[in-house]
Amino acid sequence: MRRLLLASSSPYRRELLSRLQLEFDCRAPEIDETAQAGERPEQLVRRLALEKAQALAPTHQQHLIIGSDQVAVLGERILGKPYTFERARQQLQACSGKSVSFLTGLALLDSRTGTAQVDCITFAVHFRAINDQQIERYLQAEQPFDCAGSFKAEGLGISLFRATEGSDATSLIGLPLIRLVDMLNHAGIEVP
């Protein structure tokens, strides 16, 4: 069986990929994640997912390399990872009572041939109206400062939602497993 490589240092993506019960390695790609002038969010995540996989191809020439990237979009504004309590508070205040689209770029690169399957999976989160005290309690409890949108859907963050909408809930956490299984099957890796 071909070796799988996850081009990510994310513990969330690593945990998700382990659900498929396939052996894989992880390496962090070193790429510039800056958006290009005029680049739309969907274009950005597709490009970055592929670039992450391509960055590891020269040193992993017999692998199927999985790249993924995600942005949260509120209106026309991209919400990145907040990294600080104050920025997370501002993001959640802006999201209160609104809908946020999560766009997850996914790439599966065959490093032997250079061929790649690339897609973008969209998932919507409809936030409850949340007040400052709820935001404060949530941020103190879960500290989601490394998560786009300032919440962890797999944890207490679910309490901030009134609804979610999309074909693959794992895309919200950063690695759309349903689409990835399609890609792996197409590449000759049978799952399950």
Q: Which domains does the chain have, with CATH numbers?
A: 3-186 (3.90.950.10)
- Whether residue 55 is predicted with pLDDT greater than 90 in this model: the reply is yes
- Whether residue 132 is predicted with pLDDT greater than 90 in this model: the reply is yes
pLDDT band at 1 (very low <50, low <70, confident <90, very high): low
pTM equals 0.91
Structure confidence at residue 135 (pLDDT):
97
Structure confidence at residue 154 (pLDDT):
87
Q: What is the mean pLDDT of residues 26-44?
A: 93
Structure confidence at residue 158 (pLDDT):
95
Helical packing angle, 11-18 and 177-186, nearest 10°: 60
Q: 192: cis peptide before it, omega within 30°?
A: yes
Is residue 71 within 8 A of residue 80, CB to CB? The reply is yes
- Annotated catalytic residue 119: no
> Which of 190, 180, 53 is closest to 112 using CA atoms?
53
Annotated catalytic residue: which of 25, 32, 69, 132? Answer: 69
Q: Count H helices and E strands in the chain, helices first.
A: 6, 7
